[in-house]
Amino acid sequence: MFASNCIKFFFDEYFFTGEHIDYHGYGVLPMATKEGVEVLAAPNEGRQIRIMNVDKQYMECIIELPLNWVAACPPKWYDYVLCGWKGILDKVGGEQIGFDLLVYEVRSFFGSIPPSSGLSSSSSLVCAAALSTWMIHTGKIFEGITRNSFLIILMIVTLQAATSHFNARVVEGRLAAKLLLKMSGMTSFSQLVRLKDVQEILGKSLNEMLELCEVLPEEVNLEQIEELLGRDVVQKCLSSNTQHLKSFKLRTRARHVYSEALRVDLFEQACIAEDLYAMGRLMCDSHRSCSKDYECSCESLDKVVEDCCAAGAYGARLTGAGWGGCAIALLDAIHPVDLGKVLFYSEPSVGINADFL
C-alpha cells in the first residue's frame, strides 16, 4: 500500500556519449530519448525502503534504514534503484527518508529494447530512482532541458565473443592502473584500483594522465606483467572468466579511457554552447579511439560510421559497447540526411516528466 503524495514518474532511456569508461571510474554524458521507465514513488512512515515491480520475476526488496549501501557485484535488479538513491542522498545529505517505489512499466521500442543498441533500462531505472529521491527529499519537481539535435541509431552486425572482449578490457584497465602507480613511485596498492583512482591519487589532470600513460608498455605477456607487478597482484586483477588471458595491451587501453573521459567534459561544454560541429568532431574522435585504441569496433561498424559522416551527419560513433551492434549519428532538423536503414530515430527529450499526485 502506497502512502499519499505519490509521484508519477517517467524517465527516458539513455544513449551514452562516453564509451567504455564507466567501469574505469569515469562518468559519461547521456542523452534522453522518448522511451523509458515509469515508477510510482512515495515516502512512507516507516524506516524502510520498499522496492517493488509489477513484473513478478523481480522479487520485492525491503531494506531497513539507516543504510550504508555499497555497489553490489553482480547487482540485483533493485541495486539500480539503490544506486540512484545513494547518488542523490550523497548530494542533498540529511536524514534517510523511508519510501516505497514501484516500477510499473518499462516502455521501450517495439516492446523491447534492441540488443546492443546502447539503450539501457537499468540506467533508466537508476535515473528514475535518483530523481524520485530528489523529489521526496526536496519537494521539488525536476525541470528538464531540450536540445536542437536529433539522433539516429543504425543496426549492424553483432559479435558472439563481445563479452569475452569486454572482460579482457576490464582486466587490462586494472593492470594499467597498477603499473601506472608503480611507475609513479607508489609501492603499496594491494586493493583493486581503477584508472580514475590513479588520476585522483596522483592529483593530475586528464591531459597529464594522457601524457603519463604513454610510458606504459604497449603489450605485455603474462610472464612480463607478473615480473613487473608480482604474481599475487596480477592474479587479484584477473577474474574467474579471464584466467585464460596470456597477453595484455596497456598503453592504448589507458589512452582511450583518459582521452574519452576528457571528451565527455568537452562534449558537455559543446552541449551548453549548442555547438553541433564540436559535438560531431568529438563523436568521430570517440569512434576512432574506440576502434584503434580500445579495439571494440569492427570493420562493418567502422564503415557505417564513415558512411554517416560522408552523407552529411555532424558526427557518428559506435554505441552499445561495440563489437558490432549499433552506431549513433548526430543530425539537425534543418538539414535532413538520408542514412539508409534506421533502427530507431529520436528527437530530443526533456529527459523526465514527474508529477505529485
**Reported confidence tier of residue 147, pLDDT bands at 50, 70, 90:** very low
Q: pLDDT tens digits for 114-143?
A: 444 555 567 778 888 888 898 888 887 665
Helices (H), 162-298: 162-183, 195-202, 206-212, 222-229, 231-237, 251-273, 276-292
Pull the grid cell for residue 155. Answer: 543496426
Q: pLDDT tens digits for 308-354?
A: 898 888 999 988 767 777 788 888 877 767 766 554 445 555 555 66
Give the number of other Cβ atoms within 10 Å of residue 68's Cβ. Answer: 6
Q: Tell me how far apart the alpha carbons of residues 1 and 206 are, in angstroms, rounded to a whole number.
A: 49
Which H or E run contains 107? strand 99-107
Identity of the residue numbered 280: G
Q: Tell me how far apart the alpha carbons of residues 153 and 112 are, in angstroms, rounded to a whole number.
A: 15
The residue that leads in pLDDT, 272 or 199, is 199
Residue 245's region, left for phi above 0, alpha for psi from -120 to 50, else beta, is beta
DSSP state of 184: T
- What residue ranges of the chain are covered by domains with CATH 1.20.1440.340? 165-256
Q: pLDDT tens digits for 211-269?
A: 999 999 999 999 999 999 999 999 999 988 899 999 999 999 999 999 999 999 999 99
Burial class of residue 47 (count of CB atoms within 10 Å of its CB; 0-12, 13-18, 19+): middle
Is the confidence at residue 101, as pLDDT, over 70?
Answer: yes
Whose CA is closest to 138, among 94, 101, 98, 102? 94
Q: Tell me how far apart the alpha carbons of residues 247 and 225 are, in angstroms, rounded to a whole number.
A: 9
Q: pLDDT tens digits for 12-62?
A: 555 557 889 988 999 888 766 666 678 899 999 889 999 999 888 889 999
- What residue ranges of the chain are covered by domains with CATH 3.30.230.10? 7-161
Whose CA is closest to 285, among 22, 19, 27? 19
Give the number of other Cβ atoms within 10 Å of residue 70's Cβ. Answer: 9
According to the model, what pLDDT value does residue 143 have? 56
Q: Tell me how far apart the alpha carbons of residues 311 and 211 are, in angstroms, rounded to a whole number.
A: 35
7-161 — its CATH code? 3.30.230.10
* Average pLDDT of the residues in 293-316: 90
Q: State in words which class domain 165-256 has.
A: mainly alpha
Q: Tell me how far apart the alpha carbons of residues 270 and 290 are, in angstroms, rounded to a whole number.
A: 20
Identity of the residue numbered 193: V
Pull the grid cell for residue 19. Answer: 564509451
